[in-house]
Structure formats: structure tokens, C-alpha cells
Structure 1
Amino acid sequence: MTQYRISEAAELVGVSDDTVRRWVSEGLLSVTKDASGRQVVPGAELAARAQAIATTSGDRSHVRRSARNRFVGLVTRVEIDGLMAQVELQCGPHRVVSLMSSEAASELRLEVGSRGVAIVKATMVVVETEQENP
């Protein structure tokens, strides 16, 4: 069973260590001790909590879409140059960069500090994990 220390769990979900400890005290996550005596939370519970947070922090529109990869965040950079624009969003611990037409960026009224949702639909997504010690 995969387990994460409090600090690792916080980093993975994009919250503070104190938030994870609060979730533990509120019974939203369980905690045990690892072989070194450090508190750890089960990976499966952390994944379920991350999904619950994502469901409540999504956009509030009533639009149906086929894309499932949605990243809610803040616009941190908008660079318009001629016909194209580069827009960066900080979505929790993730930086998402989008290239779009300058017309689209203007129509969306994107500016640093505004809320945005990056929606990604791809036919190929690479998933990697850390190599376990043999």
C-alpha cells in the first residue's frame, strides 16, 4: 500500500502541511506511523481527497464537455505578439502553458490574476512513476 508523509501529501495535493493535519483531525484522512515513526496517510485516501477538492473547485458553468483533464488556476502571464498569444496558468503546483490566437486571448479578457480553467484533451498522455528500490 502506498503511503505518504504529511509533507509529501501536502505537496502532491497542493496544500499546506497544516491543511493535511487538519484533514486528519477532522477525520477526512486517516494516519498511521511508518517504520521510522513518522505519520503517513494512505495514498488511496489522499487520491480520493484530491478528487473531492477538484470537484468542488472547478468552474461553475453548466457546460458539458468530453475533456476530463481540467486544471483550475490563476493566469500568471499573458504575452501577446502579433497573431499569437502565450498564456500561463498556475494550477495548484502545476504550471500550464497555452498557445492561442491573440484574438482568442483578447476575447477571453485574460489578464494576470484572473481565474482560468485549462482544459486538455489529448490522445497521448505519458504517465511516469518513481522507480522502486530493488
Structure 2
Amino acid sequence: MTHYRISEAARLVGVSDDTIRRWVADGILPLDHDDAGRQIVPGAALAAHAKTLGGSTAEVGDVQRSARNRFVGLVTKVEIEGLMAQVELQCGPHRVVSLMSSEAARELKLEVGSTGVAVVKATMVIVETDKEPQP
């Protein structure tokens, strides 16, 4: 079974180490110890809790969407050239890049420092993992 140290678990779900410790203290996450006596969180329990953090609905105001993957972020780059624009958002630890028409970028009034939501709907998603599973 996969386990994560507290700092790794925090990084994976985008919270602080202290938040993971609070979740353990509140009984939200179980805590084990590895062979060296270090505190570890079971990967399956972390994954189950992570699912609750993401929400299950794609409703936003009066609009429903089929896309579930919404990343709120800060616009860090807007590059408009000809008919196309490249817009970059920093959504927590994730950098999301969107290519759109320059008309759309102008209509949305996208500028560095403004907020935006990247909505991702893909028919193909590539998942990578380490060569060797973690203990």
C-alpha cells in the first residue's frame, strides 16, 4: 500500500503540513508510522479525502457544465499576436496555458494580474507515475 510522509501528502493536495496534521487530529485522515518511525498517511485515505475537496458539481451560478476540471488562478501572461493569443494562469502550484483567438482574449479583458478560471474538458488525459512505486 502507498503511504506518504506528511509533507508529501500536503504537497499532493495543495495544503500546508499543519493542515494535514489538523486533519489527522480531527480524525479526517489516519496516521501510521513507517519502519523508521516517521509519520505517514495512507495513500488511499488521502485520495478519498482529496476527492471531497474537489467538489462534485460543475454548477457555477445559473450555468451547468459537463467539464468538472475548473482551476481558478491568476493571469500571469497574455501574448496576443495576429489571430491568436496565448494566456497563462497560475492556479495554485499549477501553470495552465490556453491558446485562444485574440478576439476572445480581448473580449474577456484578460490582463496580467486579473483572475480567471481555466475549464478543462479533454477526451484524452495522459497520466504519468514514477518508475518505481513508493513504499
The verdict on a shared fold, with TM-score over 0.5 as the criterion, is yes
Determine if contact 2:79/2:85 at 8 Å carries over to the other structure. Answer: yes
CA displacement at 1:6 relative to structure 2 = 0.6
**2:10 counterpart SS class:** helix
Unaligned runs of 5+ in 2: none
In structure 1, distance between residues paired with 2:72 and 2:48: 18
CA displacement at 1:18 relative to structure 2 = 1.8
Q: Which residue of 2 aligns with 1:14?
A: 14
Provide, for residues 32-70 of structure 1, a one-character-per-residue CA deviation record: whole Å limited to 9, x for no partner.
1111111111112212222222229x8843322222333
Q: Which residue of 2 aligns with 1:111?
A: 111
**2:130 counterpart SS class:** coil
In structure 2, distance between residues paired with 1:42 and 1:8: 11
Return the letter of the residue paired with 2:119.
Answer: I
In structure 2, distance between residues paired with 1:59 and 1:12: 25
Provide, for residues 59-88 of structure 1, a one-character-per-residue CA deviation record: whole Å limited to 9, x for no partner.
843322222333232222222223221111
Q: Which residue of 1 aligns with 2:76?
A: 76
**2:55 counterpart SS class:** helix
Q: Which residue of 2 aligns with 1:65?
A: 65
Return the letter of the residue paired with 2:14.
Answer: G
Determine if contact 2:88/2:96 at 8 Å carries over to the other structure. Answer: yes
TM-score normalised per structure 1: 0.83
1:98 aligns with 2:125: no
Unaligned runs of 5+ in 1: none
Identity %: 72
TM-score normalised per structure 2: 0.83
Return the letter of the residue paired with 1:114.
Answer: S
CA displacement at 1:95 relative to structure 2 = 0.9
For these two proteins, the number of residue pairs brought into alignment is: 132
Return the letter of the residue paired with 1:129.
Answer: T
Q: 1:55 to 1:97 in 2, by over 3 A?
A: same
CA displacement at 1:97 relative to structure 2 = 0.3
Query: Which residues in structure 2 correspond to 1:35-74 (within 5 Å)?
Result: 35-55=35-55, 60-74=60-74
